[in-house]
Amino acid sequence: MRLLLDPKNEELADILNTLLTDNIDITAREVARRHSTLKNPSAFTRNEARSALIAAAQAQQQGVRKIVAGGGGAGSLQDQAAGYRQDIKRLEAQLTHMVAAHAGLIRAVQMAGGGPALERFWRDYKAVGDAVHSLSAANAERPVTHLPLRVVKMSDGTAD
């Protein structure tokens, strides 16, 4: 069994990085031209590890070139950003609706008798609350974040 020259492929990795940085086509022949000891392209194509390193660098180079050319890479990033902005708007609207719904529920509880009425209601659902805590769905160590409520004026002039 022959000993491999450059067994860790450190020089090959340096050459591949240089070719990527300088935007020079990555081929086994180009790598062989630049390598100090391995001057035959077949030394790279017949060795699985070296061939895999060259193939990975070629794929990376194609990806970079595709993004630079605008052939889907940059456009898809813009599409993703637009999608994220839409998701943010949808979530903000959902949050606004949830805050309004909670404010309405609090108002309803106040009108139905306040704290004692709420206590009577939750007696029937104590098992549900206990199950939530046993599943660690409600983290007792982390306090609930209170969101600022916007005051909404009702048509009768009262604030909600």
pLDDT in tens, 64-93: 888 777 655 555 778 888 889 999 999 999
Residue-wise pLDDT tens digits, 6-64: 678 889 999 999 999 999 999 999 999 999 888 899 988 998 999 999 999 999 999 88
The DSSP bridge partners found for residue 159 are: 153
Whether 115 has a pLDDT exceeding 80, the answer reads: no
Report pLDDT for 93: 92
Report pLDDT for 4: 67
45: Cα within 13 Å, side-chain hemisphere: 10
Segment 131-143 mean pLDDT: 63
Report pLDDT for 155: 57
List, as own/partner pairs, every contact residues 4-8 make where C-beta atoms lie below 8 angstroms and the sequence separation is at least 24, other chains included.
4/47, 5/37, 5/38, 6/35, 6/37, 6/38
Q: Is the pTM of this model over 0.85?
A: no
What CA–CA distance (Å, rounded) separates 7 from 41?
A: 16
